[in-house]
Structure 1
Amino acid sequence: MRAKDAVGRYGEDVAARFVTQAGWTVLARNWRCTEGELDLVALDGDEVVAVEVKTRRSTAYGHPAEAVTFRKLASVRRLTARWLREHDVRARSVRVDVIAVVVPRSGAAQVEHLVGVV
């Protein structure tokens, strides 16, 4: 596994723990279809949340959340609609969040949760 992939996987693990500790139920991790991939799909109370996770080792090239473009968010919305069509989950509403993770060389990962980005 490439170092970049390992950092990304670690960030997704951190994000999954973060939402679980917040009381959410993780419904899917790394859900894939022919159109792309959703990092996390979770249930926050009665709301389905698609979570885009971005992880970086530092902010030298910008904050991880800055890498989530308008095009990426549009893709996440399309994928979330498809996920909902393929899974029998009843929810009051649906939203898209971003979890940005910075993994420094030493110390704990820093997590920032952006709620309802679209």
Structure 2
Amino acid sequence: MNTHQSRSALGRYGEELAARRLTAAGMTVLERNWRSGRSGEIDIVASDGDVLVVCEVKTRRGGRFAHPMAAVTPVKAERLRDLAERWIQTHGGAPPGGVRIDVVGVVLPERGAPLVEHVRGGVT
């Protein structure tokens, strides 16, 4: 397995753990890995009541972990907002509760259970 394949498998595993965490928190996963042409991808689109949640998932192996919000720069956050707008345009309009951008950080330690941290953003 090359580095890209292993990173891709790591990301998919992290996204699966993130989807489970969001579901356990009472959210409904609407879509995973939604792409908008060359603009990018939303890892998970979910609903939390009447709020649309765009979720970025960051997966790291233990030892090389920064807080998940550190991985979402202002440029990345703006791109996620743009992608959320595109998702809304293609899925019938804005939800009554607005849009929130969340981050789920997944750390896979060498031993023990994965650590999954869900950080909720503000509603816009």
- The normalised TM-score by structure 2 is 0.86
Instruction: Verify: 1:98 aligned to 2:103, yes or no.
Output: yes
Give the corresponding residue for 1:82.
86
Q: 2:10 aligns with which of 7, 11, 31?
A: 7
Greater than 3 Å deviation, 4+ residue runs:
none
Deviation by residue 1:7-40 (Cα, 9 ceiling, x = unmatched): 1110000000001111111111000111110000
* 2:58–2:104 Cα contact (<8 Å) kept: yes
> Structure 1 residue 49 and structure 2 residue 50: aligned?
no
Structure 2: distance between partners of 1:61 and 1:11: 14
- The number of equivalent residue pairs is 118
Q: Could you tell me how far apart the structure 1 residues matched to 2:96 and 2:46 are?
A: 11
Kept in 1: contact 2:65–2:107 (CA 8 A): no
Alpha-carbon separation, structure 2, partners of 1:58 and 1:19: 22
**C-alpha contact 1:42 1:49 (8 A) present in aligned 2:** yes
Contact 1:103 1:109 in 2 (8 A): yes
Identity of matched residues, %: 51
Contact 1:56 1:64 in 2 (8 A): no
Cα offset, 1:73, TM superposition:
0.7
How high is the TM-score relative to the length of structure 1?
A: 0.90
Letter in 1 for 2:28: T
Aligned Cα root-mean-square deviation (Å):
1.7
* C-alpha displacement of 1:63: 3.4
* Cα distance between partner residues in 2 of 1:61 and 1:43: 28
